[in-house]
Amino acid sequence: MEEISVCEALIALLGIEKVLVPGSTGYNTSLSSYFSPQAAAVLPACFVTPQTVVDVSTLVKILTSSENGGPHDFAVRGGGHTWFANANSAPGAVTIDMRGLNSIEFSADKSSVSVGAGATWDLIYDKLDPLGLSVAGGRVAGVGVGGLTLGGGISYFGPREGLTCNQAISFEIVLADGSVVEANEKQNADLWWGLRGGSNNFGIVTRINFRTFEQRSLLWSTLTLNPLTEPFEGETPPFYKPILELPTISNALATTITASMSTLAQNSVALQKPQAARYMTATTTFIPTEAMIRATYDAFNSSFSLLEGVAGLMWAANIEPLGVLNLLLKLHYGPVSQKKIIVPNTPLPPQIYKRGGADTNALGLTKQESSLAICLISPAWSDAAHDEQVYSAARSLMSDIEEKAKKLGVYDPYIYLDYAAPWQDVIKGYGEENVKMLQALRKRVDPVGVFTRMVKGGFKIPEES
């Protein structure tokens, strides 16, 4: 059966309002809602927009059926924030757009919140902020709940509460056979563990229950731009005053605010507006010794030569250390000059991957006792003709940083899924023991390998050797 015929069959079964075909307003709106132009350039045969878990179950049964020329490849998207092509859309096939499953419901005592996996974090904060509550969720409006949680999840509340995935009390998930199951600490506990970092390898998550906590105070936030040569001195508030007392490059860009999570999430969008440029990310992990931070800067500085002629480029390496200050190194190629700056940002102490139990997720950080730094490459540029040049430079820079980390004895194989590039072997970085456990889990819940072989996107569990 041709894929377009699958879309026609879905229209007959689910209704034209839930199946968006090329040329329709809904189809074009779905394309324009992706974060990066690279993702938006992928053209599925149709988008399907389920509104209930029953819709999702029906879709999986149809797409995996051997009848009518099946089974058929498909993809699943939530917030659509993953940047690379085919990460959350299936070219010429069916893409399931989960954003219709965006309900937000509280438990009777408001100690937890049940969230549709297609919701975005700003929608959750809009509901929680007026109640003086919050969750350890994403930092940017528009980022999907499902994708961030299944990848681990870094939060402003991480130092106090831990990773986002460790706040997930329970998952509702549609498996490869279309069945709907609940996964929590007592029921399908192996699946609950695997979903905490295991990406889209086991099914389609339709709902997640998160633990809530009181957050009646506003959050304090600051952005300053500082020259590379200044030392860190002084304090105010006790921990942040050294940053504020540094001379800034531009007072107009130095801002200090107290705001709700809703406001902070919306403000973060201004730093990287959807489809305003071409984007990518790649990441690695190391112990942030002084020597390693200096080595990262040296590698970053050396990478400039690979980027000559790239139009509208902002070249950035962001170090998110677990225990010291964030450093954001940037290079702008403009018509007049180049600029290099460091931006100190939010500290993330090592508790971020320990709170909630490092052994209750698949990330493989159980035995790690050192503070870790996640190093993120996050460039932006204007012309698709320079895509491969930027990707190549990013791979080279990542390789250089990793080589330096290994020589200094501070390299860690963990790769943060939500920042990873498509060429990175994320799941392998969770460690051999966890990979074997994930393989066993996949064999139990998806013995045919639907979500490994048929479902586009995500970071797949390695095949058994």
Of 101-115, 148-162, 223-237, 413-427, the one with minimum mean pLDDT is: 223-237
Q: Does residue 53 sit in helix, strand or coil? A: helix
Section 257-267 average pLDDT: 87
DSSP state of 218: P
Q: So what's the pLDDT on residue 350?
A: 66
For residue 334, pLDDT over 70 is answered with: no
Residue from 92, 122, 226, 112 nearest 170 by CA: 112
pLDDT tens string 323-333: 334 555 555 54
Tell me the fold of 3-98. 3.30.43
Q: Does domain 104-215+430-454 have CATH number 3.30.465.10?
A: yes
Going from N- to C-terminal start, the domains of the chain cover 3-98, 104-215+430-454, 219-259, 281-420
Q: Does residue 363 sit in helix, strand or coil? A: coil
The alpha helices in 198-248, defined as continuous H runs, are 241-245
Of 190-204, 212-226, 406-420, the one with minimum mean pLDDT is: 212-226
Q: So what's the pLDDT on residue 244?
A: 64
For residue 322, pLDDT over 80 is answered with: no
Q: What residue ranges in 50-202 does DSSP mark as E strands? A: 74-77, 94-97, 104-106, 112-116, 133-134, 168-174, 180-184
Q: What angle do CA 157, 162, 165 make, to 5 degrees?
A: 110
For residue 238, pLDDT over 70 is answered with: no
Residue with tokens 């508790």: 351
Same fold flag, 3-98 and 104-215+430-454? no
DSSP state of 431: -
